Amino acid sequence: MKVQPAAYLRTTLPLDLSQLPELDSGRYHSIWLPDHMVSFWPDSIWTPEFTDLATVSPSPHRHLDAMAVAAAAAVLTTNVPLVTSVVDTVRRHPSLLAQSALTIGHLAKGRFVLGLGSGETENTVPYGFDFTKPVSRFEEALHVIRLLWDSDGPVDFDGQFYRLRHARLDTEPYDGRLPPIWIGASGQRTLDIVGRYADGWWPTGAWTPEDYAEKLATVRASADRAGRDPLAITPCYIQVCLIAPDDAALEEILAAPLVKAFLLQVSAPMLRSFGYEHPMGESWRGYQDIDPAVLTRERILEFLAGVQPEMLLSVIPHGTPKQVARIVKDYVDAGLRVPKILDYGGMAGLKYAAASAQHVREAEDELLCLCGDVR
């Protein structure tokens, strides 16, 4: 497949569906819709003291249901595939995921892709969901979804997490084609699951092109062992970047508290592999330890004081749109085919947020020029 960027449709308030005609024009491989209850940014720094973004939005957690927004987008577009990026299998029973995916598939006339993941702490634990053994639960949920899609008539199932008794899902898929399943995963167990179940894959973390290539090789080896075509799995990535017009702007972006807060999503072992000790301590697990409501102002201030610009630069591609495109091209050389360039520099404040979409478009254009006939 050729290299083609993906687009994001934000599933937060205020919801803007007016951009859908542009996203449906053929420029993009697919539209990805994130699904959260809350964001990663701590409440304690979403205030005018730390960011002027708080002057236009009272909270960073005004999220909408991605499946519902996908259904709306399905009837407002005609060409581009719509992908949840990603829905977890903790908050929704797999039977409901199976039915919802078929429903949106009919609304989209076969253009819906069910993007799934094993879940994150901040979206599950505060709401009382059982987040123990998330990977085992995830694999069993995938099995239940496939079982309901593939079975004729009622089925029974006795698993560790789910029980079915005379359960049926007689709704046929649109045009006889089941929705593809894409999976977000980076751990060894989940990469193996990707190879056995998925039609597409994003890493939940791939910090170098070599890391991406290694994880993709693991996915393809698993697919091969399962008797599946390894090359039929679409290699994707949400490439977080810091895009700036010049060095002075980049320096200002790196000093912004919300940009510094990106390091909360990086684990201590990963940051240590780049030569830095994590400001949150050696046991910090990255995004799995984030609970925005309980990270106090005092702790975040201590964290921010410990963040060095070099830490961010070591894990986030950065520079002008052309420089960022050249970095993403290295991931293409490692096997990536559907990149979503996500400019985190927009979190530096209203000035940078206003320029972010244009920066991303320029980086996409340059990337496509660099890729040429890469397939």
The DSSP code sequence of 116-184 is: EE---HHHHGGGT---SSHHHHHHHHHHHHHHHHH-SS-EEEE-SS-EEEEE---PPPGGG-PPPEEEE
Q: pLDDT (tens digit, 9 = 90+) per residue, 225-279?
A: 999 999 999 999 999 999 999 999 999 999 999 999 999 999 999 999 999 999 9
Question: Residue 286 falls within a domain, yes or no?
Answer: no
Question: Residue 87 falls within a domain, yes or no?
Answer: yes
Question: Residue 274 falls within a domain, yes or no?
Answer: no
Residues 140, 141, 146, CA angle at the centre, nearest 5°? 100
Question: Residue 277 falls within a domain, yes or no?
Answer: no
Question: Residue 307 falls within a domain, yes or no?
Answer: no
| Number of neighbouring beta carbons within 10 Å of residue 215 | 26
pLDDT band at 374 (very low <50, low <70, confident <90, very high): confident
Question: Residue 324 falls within a domain, yes or no?
Answer: yes
pTM of the model: 0.96
**Domain encompassing residue 355:** 6-245+317-371
Into how many domains does the chain fold? 1
Q: How far apart (Å, rounded) are the C-alpha atoms in residues 344 and 34?
A: 15
Question: Residue 118 falls within a domain, yes or no?
Answer: yes
Q: Please tell me the predicted confidence (pLDDT) of residue 294.
A: 86
CATH number for 224: 3.20.20.30
Q: Please tell me the predicted confidence (pLDDT) of residue 58.
A: 94
Question: Residue 1 falls within a domain, yes or no?
Answer: no
